[in-house]
Amino acid sequence: MADNGTFFAIFDVLIKEVERAPSLKKRHRVLLSEALQRSAAGICDRYAEIRDDAKINYMERGLDARLDRHKCAAAFIIAFLEKLDIKDAALSKTFIRERLALQAGFIVLGAFIGKDKDASLAAFLDKNNGFALPEIIHKTRQKYLYIWSVELRYLKEEDALSVLPLAHELFYLESYNKLLAKTRDRRRP
């Protein structure tokens, strides 16, 4: 991330999304907005630690390297999972932390796509209101986001969250959206 202003702008977007989420009770919208505001600085600090660790361990130039957008978004998701302080016990038992972490990662990834001038994908994301998630092809009633949230919860409980596998998943999500964008462009007369 470029600076704290950019970082905290992500929180502003998330808070606005939480405040207008029709699927959340008003009480939960208030609790989550407060949790986001209360946790922002801690998440920012943890993100910087994870980012620097990823640079040292995975990048040839170390701390001088620039992380790609997938690793940045992955580091943000992990920081979010570790530092979002949801005080309400009932709410914290849901997968809301994981869903918000993923949403934050999608915002980061989308911001980098726009910044990196990937115009066709950025236009697709704008028109689609964010990333399209794949449909589940096997027989299940669970959606992609739910399954990903369960995976993140399990990895966090096992202390097995890692930037590289999560960045890999984000890369494939971006690739899926690029394919959808190209397919839809071909269908236009």
The answer to whether residues 19 and 33 touch, using CB atoms and an 8 Å cutoff, is: yes
What's the pLDDT tens digit per position in 58-105?
Answer: 888 878 888 899 999 999 999 999 999 998 888 878 898 999 899 889
d(CA 160, CA 169): 15
The answer to whether residues 41 and 79 touch, using CB atoms and an 8 Å cutoff, is: no
Q: Give the pLDDT band (50/70/90) at residue 1.
A: very low
Per DSSP (E only), the strands in the chain are none
pLDDT surpassing 80 at residue 130: yes
Termini Cα distance of the chain: 39
Q: How far are the Cα atoms of 5, 10, 20, 100, 102 from residue 17, in angstroms, in the given order? A: 19, 11, 5, 10, 13
What pTM was estimated for this model as a whole? 0.89
Which range (16-25, 82-91, 98-107, 120-129) has the least confidence? Answer: 16-25
Phi-psi group of 56: left, alpha or beta (phi > 0 → left; psi -120 to 50 → alpha; rest → beta)? alpha
The total number of structural domains that make up the chain: 1
Please calculate the CA angle 23-28-32 and round it to the nearest 5 degrees: 105
For 25, the token pair is 């009770």
Task: State the residue range of the domain holding 17.
Answer: 4-187
